[in-house]
Amino acid sequence: GIQVEQSPPDLILQEGANSTLRCNFSDSVNNLQWFHQNPWGQLINLFYIPSGTKQNGRLSATTVATERYSLLYISSSQTTDSGVYFCAGGVRALNFGKGTSLLVTP
């Protein structure tokens, strides 16, 4: 199956800082999504972005499908941004990366 590599695995930021999370895929995907998993386990959809760029408030994402990677940008981070961020992609089912655990400190 498709392998999904996420980096960095862990990230600590001070409030107000910006960050970039990256996701590489071993093969081309038709579907690509970024999620934030809350402490209760719920996956919150951030972006469905198989290609191109999207923005939603302080978050934006870019996928370069031809080079099989995607980036998630978090600007002016807040403590509420803390948690685990997953990217997932695939042709039919989504295959998940191992996640980036983000901690934003006051």
Of the pair 88, 104, the CB lying nearest other proteins is at 88
Q: Which residues contact 58 (CB under 8 A, 6 or more apart)?
A: 74, 75, 76, 77, 78
* Closest distance to other proteins from the beta carbon of 61 (Å): 12
Q: Where is 11: in which H helix or E strand? A: strand 10-14
Q: Which residues contact 41 (CB under 8 A, 6 or more apart)?
A: none
Of the pair 13, 49, the CB lying nearest other proteins is at 49
Residues 20-79 that bind other proteins (CB under 8 A): 31, 33, 35, 40-43, 45, 48, 50
* Amino acid at site 83: G
Binding site for other proteins (CB under 8 A): 1, 31, 33, 35, 40-43, 45, 48, 50, 86, 88, 92-99
